[in-house]
């Protein structure tokens, strides 16, 4: 329970349905007491809000301090990822290594058989195994963040909001008189004050930041930057040249080189994946050269459009190839694999790939399906360094 509208409605529904409900809140982060940070989750004020909702519902409530776990599993890897030239997906790490796992562990300690959360996702049982599906409301769907959950974990989870839209949930909260009915939604990462990713990394890695060159697609040095953590692939704001060329960040190298290029240089045919997790019923088809493949749809950023793709595996290596090139495949982000609304799994993007001319077409069966390429500004992950060259 966060004290917000979603978890409050979930708790109220379960009480009304006759479940023996215990409210649990994880204290994960502390915010500066400057009055500027509102609408976040997992802070001391959220513990207070959740406890008041639990009191109103007549259920016990427990709060657990997991700040050290959150620092170790989410914040520190977030900083290291930026220092490596990546743009991380901390909410995936939080759900995997902190929220879901910790709540399941605490449920066992408290004698609870199931864990219910306010996530917008669905679980369906097929052939005796629990499988993850997108929420009915695709604008709120959070299956992207839960793609790594095993069938065993899903069997112990409940997502009561999976068939609802946000407007309906908020109306229900108001009708029930729940305290969280008017609480706003967070639009930023919970541990990044005012969305300043670069400021957080600078403060936590001050002695490790190094200057480096900003180069164009011909290798010419255009400027000097004071840290690669200020850049992400696809960034375009303020990146121009005196000649009027519209340039984008196309590569952020851990060595310190930031490369700019034109929009076409952002296109990728595929991605090399790491930390891949797949549902236990996923089956690959045999290909030539000791490769196997899985036909799927891929989403390469949260709320991104699904594109037709093929996951190929050779030994322990995974490559994801798109039916048609897409733009801004960003290292550090997560690619989640679907078949319809069913979640098959996913992995972290390590690098984008370009296929030899014609290879992607030859390897992926063509059809008439259109492929969404995303918005003109593919990624704007926080405040970034402005370059006028």
Residue 389 CA to residue 387 CA, distance in Å, equals 6
Tens digit of each residue's pLDDT, the chain (389 residues): 988 999 999 999 999 999 999 999 999 988 765 445 554 566 667 888 999 999 999 999 999 999 999 999 999 999 999 999 999 999 999 999 999 999 999 999 999 999 999 999 999 999 999 999 999 999 999 999 999 999 999 999 999 999 999 999 999 999 999 987 877 776 678 888 777 889 999 999 988 999 999 999 899 999 999 999 999 999 986 565 656 778 999 999 999 999 999 999 999 999 999 999 999 999 999 887 778 999 999 999 999 999 999 999 988 899 999 999 999 899 999 999 999 999 999 999 999 999 875 444 444 443 333 333 333 333 333 334 444 44
Find residue 388's DSSP bridge partners.
240
Tell me, what's the pLDDT at 40? 56
Burial 292-331 (b: 16+ CB within 10 A, else e): ebbebbbbbbeebbbbbbbbbbeeeebbbbbbbbbbbbbb
Backbone angles phi, psi at 264, to 5 degrees: -60, -25
Cα–Cα distances in Å, from 250 out to 217, 236, 255, 326, 329? 9, 10, 15, 13, 10
Instruction: Classify domain 210-389 at the CATH topology level.
Output: Elongation Factor Tu (Ef-tu); domain 3 (2.40.30)
List C-alpha distances in Å: 54 to 100, 103, 178, 279.
20, 17, 10, 35
The SS3 call for residue 63 is strand
CA nearest to 210, candidates 84, 77, 74: 84
Q: Would you state the pLDDT for residue 246? A: 85
Q: What is the pLDDT of residues 77-88, one digit of tens each?
A: 999 999 999 999
296 labelled catalytic: no
Check whether domain 5-194 has CATH 3.40.50.620, yes or no? yes
Q: Which of 41, 42, 91, 190 is catalytic?
A: 190
pLDDT of residue 365: 42
pLDDT at 43: 64
Distance separating alpha carbons of residues 59 and 5, to the nearest angstrom: 17
How far apart (Å, rounded) are the C-alpha atoms in residues 325 and 217? 20
Please name which of 364, 318, 370 lies closest in space to residue 344, comparing C-alpha atoms: 318
**So what's the pLDDT on residue 375?**
34
Residue 42 among the catalytic residues: no
pLDDT at 149: 98
> pLDDT tens digits, residue range 149-188?
999 999 999 999 999 999 999 999 999 999 878 777 766 7
**Distance from the first to the final alpha carbon of the chain:** 49
Given the residues 41, 42, 94, 296, select the one marked as catalytic: 94
Helix (H) or strand (E) holding 13: helix 5-16
Are 307 and 272 in contact by the 8 Å Cβ rule? The answer is: no
Any idea which residue has 């390429």 for tokens? 373
Task: Pick left, alpha or beta for residue 101 (phi over 0 → left; psi -120 to 50 → alpha; otherwise beta).
Answer: alpha
Strand order in the sheet with 258-261: 221-225, 212-215, 258-261, 248-252
Cα–Cα distance, 359 to 96 (Å, whole number): 35
pLDDT at position 336 = 99
What is the residue extent of each domain of the chain?
Answer: 5-194, 210-389
Q: Can you give the pLDDT at residue 239?
A: 64
Q: What's the whole-model pTM score?
A: 0.88
Decide: helix, strand or coil at residue 130.
strand
3-state DSSP of 329-388 = CCCCCEEEEEECCEEEEEEEEEEEECCCCCHHHHHCCCCCCCCCCCCCCCCCCCCCCCCE
């Amino acid at each position: 329970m966060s004290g917000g509208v979603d978890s409050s409605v979930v708790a109220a529904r379960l009480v009304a349905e006759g479940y023996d409900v215990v409210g649990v809140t994880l204290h994960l982060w502390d915010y500066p007491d400057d009055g500027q940070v509102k609408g976040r989750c997992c802070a001391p004020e959220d513990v207070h809000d959740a406890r008041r909702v639990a009191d109103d519902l007549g259920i016990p409530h427990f709060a657990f301090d997991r700040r050290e776990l959150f620092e170790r599993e989410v914040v520190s890897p977030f900083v290291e990822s930026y220092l490596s030239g990546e743009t991380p997906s901390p909410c995936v790490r939080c759900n995997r290594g902190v929220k879901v796992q910790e709540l399941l562990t605490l449920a066992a300690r408290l004698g609870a058989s199931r864990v219910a959360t306010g996530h917008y996702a669905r679980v369906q049982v097929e052939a005796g195994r629990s499988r993850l599906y997108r929420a009915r409301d695709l604008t709120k769907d959070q299956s992207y963040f839960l793609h790594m959950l095993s069938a065993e974990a899903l069997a112990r989870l409940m997502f009561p909001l999976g068939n609802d839209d946000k407007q309906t949930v908020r109306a229900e909260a108001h009708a029930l008189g729940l305290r969280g009915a008017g609480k706003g939604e967070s639009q930023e990462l919970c541990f990044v004050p005012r969305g300043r990713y670069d400021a957080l990394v600078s403060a936590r890695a001050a002695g490790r930041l190094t200057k480096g060159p900003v180069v164009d697609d011909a290798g010419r040095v255009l400027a000097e930057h004071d840290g690669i953590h200020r850049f992400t692939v696809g960034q375009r704001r303020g990146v121009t040249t005196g000649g009027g060329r519209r340039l984008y960040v196309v590569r952020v190298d851990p060595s310190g080189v930031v490369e700019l290029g034109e929009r076409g240089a952002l296109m990728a045919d595929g991605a090399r994946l790491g930390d891949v997790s797949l549902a236990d019923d996923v089956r690959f088809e045999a290909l030539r050269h000791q490769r196997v493949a899985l036909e799927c749809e891929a989403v390469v950023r949260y709320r991104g459009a699904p594109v037709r793709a093929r996951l190929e595996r050779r030994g322990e290596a995974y490559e994801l190839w798109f039916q048609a090139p897409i733009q801004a495949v960003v290292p550090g982000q997560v690619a989640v694999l679907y078949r319809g609304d069913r979640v098959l799994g996913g992995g972290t993007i390590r690098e984008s790939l370009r296929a030899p001319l014609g290879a992607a077409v030859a390897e992926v069966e063509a059809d008439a399906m259109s492929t969404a390429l995303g918005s003109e500004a593919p990624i704007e992950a926080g405040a970034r360094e402005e370059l006028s060259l």
